[in-house]
Amino acid sequence: MSDEKFPGWHGTTILAVRRGGKVVVAGDGQVSVGQTVMKGTARKVRRLTPGGSDVVVGFAGSTADAFTLLERLEKKLESAPGQLARACVDLAKDWRMDKYLRNLEAMLIVTDGKDIFVVTGAGDVLEPEHDVAAIGSGGNYALAAARGLMSSDLDAEGVARKAMAIAADICVYTNGNLTVEVLG
């Protein structure tokens, strides 16, 4: 996020882990402005059910912008049922090309329980390597922790919870109040 538009706004760690036929998306609950925690229980992981199929989305960035993108994604999924990659690519194209949408400050992790995508306003639709993806201010900490934990005996939820706890211990913009959604 640009500091000119959003001075001092930080917060959010979103992590997705695929393991043992399950995908888990976990997000912390902290929203900070500068050095102040404004809220510790925000819910940044949502379950969408377009056309009856479950899709889980985690978002980092401006909440209002993220909700705008979630609504757009839901419409894309309704027009292309069962085609998560297509819906994500269509959203990324609109996000990059549309005069209004291109100003939105957010990132998304999207999964249907099979595929995981990171979607950005730069037009990126990225599939993670090593079955782990993370975004947000504590994303790199959670990503590193989760990748290290993938060699453990933990299941997908165990990896996600432990990695998020590690990120919360390191990143001052991440807390341990988790929202966790499981698919698969």
Q: Are strands 13-19 and 55-61 parallel, antiparallel or unpaired?
A: unpaired
Binding-site annotation: residue ranges for Na(+): 168, 171, 174
pLDDT tens digit sequence for 115-164: 999 999 888 999 999 999 999 999 999 999 999 999 999 999 999 999 99
Strand ranges (E), the chain:
9-10, 13-19, 22-27, 31-33, 36-39, 45-48, 55-61, 106-111, 116-120, 125-126, 132-136, 179-183
- pLDDT of the residue at 22: 97
> With a cut of 50, which residues of the chain have pLDDT below it?
1-3, 6-9
User: Is 146 within the bounds of a domain?
Assistant: yes
Q: Is 12 a catalytic residue?
A: yes
CA 26 remoteness from chain centre: 8
User: Is 83 within the bounds of a domain?
Assistant: yes
User: Is 1 within the bounds of a domain?
Assistant: no
User: Is 183 within the bounds of a domain?
Assistant: no
What is the identity of the amino acid at 37?
V
Which residue has tokens 């950005």? 120
- pLDDT of the residue at 91: 95
Query: Per the residue annotation, which of 12, 36, 41, 68 is the catalytic one?
Result: 12
**Structural domain count, the chain:** 1
- pLDDT of the residue at 16: 98
User: Is 94 within the bounds of a domain?
Assistant: yes
Q: Can you give the pTM of this predicted structure? A: 0.92
Binding-site annotation: residue ranges: 168, 171, 174
User: Is 182 within the bounds of a domain?
Assistant: no
Query: For residue 89, which phi and psi values (nearest 5 degrees)?
Result: -65, -45
User: What letter would DSSP give residue 115?
Assistant: -
List the CATH number of the domain containing 93. 3.60.20.10
Neighbours of 98 (CB within 10 A): 12
- pLDDT of the residue at 62: 84
List of residues 6+ apart from 144 with CB closer than 8 A: none
Residue 175 to residues 29, 33, 57, 84, Cα–Cα distance (Å) = 6, 14, 19, 30
CA 15 remoteness from chain centre: 6
> What is the extent of the structural domain holding 110?
9-174
- pLDDT of the residue at 144: 98
